[in-house]
Amino acid sequence: MKIAFVGKGGSGKTTLSSLFIRHLVADGGPVIAVDADINQHLGPALGLDETEAAGLPAMGDRLPLIKDYLRGSNPRVGSTETMIKTTPPGEGSRLLRVRENNPVYDACARPVELDGGAVRLMVTGPFTDADLGVSCYHSKTGAVELCLNHLVDGRDEYVVVDMTAGSDSFASGMFTRFDITFLVAEPTRKGVSVYRQYKEYARDFGVELKVVGNKVQGQDDVDFLRAEVGDDLLVTVGHSDWVRAMEKGRPPRFELLEDANRQALRLLRTTVDSAYETRDWERYTRQMVHFHLKNAESWGNARTGIDLAAQVDPGFVLGESLTASV
Ligand SMILES: Nc1ncnc2c1ncn2[C@@H]1O[C@H](COP(=O)(O)OP(=O)(O)OP(=O)(O)O)[C@@H](O)[C@H]1O
Ligand SMILES: [Mg+2]
């Protein structure tokens, strides 16, 4: 199951992603955590100190390796140079599974020990000015999108992405790659304006979007969010002393998390799990092709000098029946 946490800067994306990851790990689920946010804070939120977080391998720096592995023997993708972030898998491509070892995880993922188990953490690496804005060839999140497009994840397997709701994710199609998107919103006008923008982009793509209210202080805050986002409001989270203690560098054991917040995490999990029932691999594949053709036309063909539409394997549908690597 692929889950994104998005929202306005400072809304609590990283905090809620990290709590949800801890919750899934404590329940025993295999979890891959991906930090694709402009502010790379997921490592520290999972308990890494600054040196450890700074030492994490950046996916953005390992794009050639990622492309080379995923390309496999796909005859439609002639070289890693012509593989762009939206190049879809086809016959011969190598696919990723959540529970396996592979060269991509070896190069890009590091285990982080949490209460009750460990998570595999992957990070895009720090963003620079050049990474922001326009869809670009060397996009940092491109590495994540390629991995998601080559991932075959099943029930009870989780990939949690802490992500920016930036123009890059809308241009490339990244925002359509999830079983569910949790939009973290503070009860403020700015908080819900990001929701409106996301909803607008999401409308035509059947993106499953739920709002998680954060830093909610009372009924008035809940009423405000309900009035602004209606039934898209899934749950609200208040101030957490547990989170504050962790931020002070004194993380309590995870079982000491406040009851109300644990309930909220349980509800997120049930919501994710029920999204499995409406999964549609054909639509998922169709959408990656749609965004590939769009990116090919707008910049990819010009950049690579070839017609990237030829990379699309018309008979290919991603799905759980496919083997991990061909
Ligand atoms: N429910 C909460 N209880 C206590 N503190 C919280 C809560 N949610 C967020 N915070 C605090 O608010 C600050 C911002 O949260 P966080 O870093 O998770 O936001 P973000 O959306 O990831 O921000 P950025 O856009 O900078 O990545 C952090 O200091 C975090 O600890
Ligand atoms: Mg963050």
- Residue showing tokens 């295999």: 30
Closest ligand, as measured to the CA of 9: 1
User: Quick one: pLDDT at residue 95?
Assistant: 97
| E strands present in the chain | 2-7, 31-36, 109-114, 117-123, 158-163, 180-185, 209-213, 233-236
Q: What angle do CA 106, 112, 118 make, to 5 degrees?
A: 95
Beta-carbon contacts of 45 under 8 Å, excluding residues fewer than 6 positions away, are: 14, 15, 17, 18, 246
Of 15, 39, 127, 190, which is best to mutate to test ligand 1, by the most ligand atoms within 8 angstroms of its C-beta? 15
How far does the centroid of ligand 1 lie from the alpha carbon of residue 288, in Å? 31
Question: In whole angstroms, how large is the CA radius of gyration of the chain?
Answer: 19
CA–CA distance, 232 with 122 (Å, rounded to integer):
29
What CATH number has the domain bearing residue 195?
3.40.50.300
- Report the DSSP beta bridge partners of residue 5: 162, 182
Residue 11 Cα: closest atom of ligand 1: 21
Q: What share of the chain is helix, strand, coil (3-state, %, to 5)?
A: 50, 15, 35
User: Quick one: pLDDT at residue 136?
Assistant: 55
Domain count, the chain: 1
14 lines ligand 1 (CB under 6 A): yes
How far does the centroid of ligand 1 lie from the alpha carbon of residue 215, in Å? 9
The string of DSSP codes covering 40-99 is --HHHHTT--HHHHHTSPBGGGGHHHHHHHHHTT-TT---GGG--TTPPP-TT---B-TT
**What Cα–Cα distance (Å) separates residue 125 from each residue in 57, 131, 256, 267, 321?**
7, 11, 31, 31, 33
User: Quick one: pLDDT at residue 168?
Assistant: 65
Query: 10-residue block means of pLDDT along the chain (326 residues)?
Result: 94 97 96 92 95 95 96 96 96 97 98 96 81 57 94 97 78 91 96 92 93 97 98 97 92 94 98 96 97 94 96 96 60
Closest ligand, as measured to the CA of 165: 1
User: Quick one: pLDDT at residue 243?
Assistant: 96
41 lines ligand 1 (CB under 6 A): yes
How far does the centroid of ligand 2 lie from the alpha carbon of residue 89, in Å? 30
Q: Which of 129, 157, 164 is nearest to 40 (CA)?
A: 164
186 lines ligand 1 (CB under 6 A): no
Of the CA atoms within 13 Å of residue 106, those in its CB half-sphere come to 5
Nearest CA to ligand 1 atom 19: 12
| pTM of the entire predicted model | 0.95
Query: Do residues 95 and 89 lie in contact, with contact meaning Cβ atoms separated by under 8 Å?
Result: yes
- What is the residue range of 189's domain? 2-322
CA–CA distance, 132 with 189 (Å, rounded to integer):
24
User: Quick one: pLDDT at residue 141?
Assistant: 86
How far does the centroid of ligand 1 lie from the alpha carbon of residue 103, in Å? 33
The string of DSSP codes covering 268-279 is HHHHHHHHGGG-
215 lines ligand 1 (CB under 6 A): yes
Neighbours of 259 (CB within 10 A): 7
Neighbours of 207 (CB within 10 A): 18
| E strands present in 150-215 | 158-163, 180-185, 209-213
247 lines ligand 1 (CB under 6 A): yes
Of 5, 6, 8, 14, which is best to mutate to test ligand 1, by the most ligand atoms within 8 angstroms of its C-beta? 14
13 lines ligand 1 (CB under 6 A): yes
How far does the centroid of ligand 2 lie from the alpha carbon of residue 42, in Å? 7
User: Quick one: pLDDT at residue 325?
Assistant: 44
265 lines ligand 1 (CB under 6 A): no
Nearest CA to ligand 1 atom 12: 12
Sign of CA dihedral 183, 184, 187, 188: negative
CA–CA distance, 76 with 80 (Å, rounded to integer):
11
How far does the centroid of ligand 1 lie from the alpha carbon of residue 244, in Å? 10
Residue 215 Cα: closest atom of ligand 1: 1
User: Quick one: pLDDT at residue 250?
Assistant: 86
Closest ligand, as measured to the CA of 13: 1
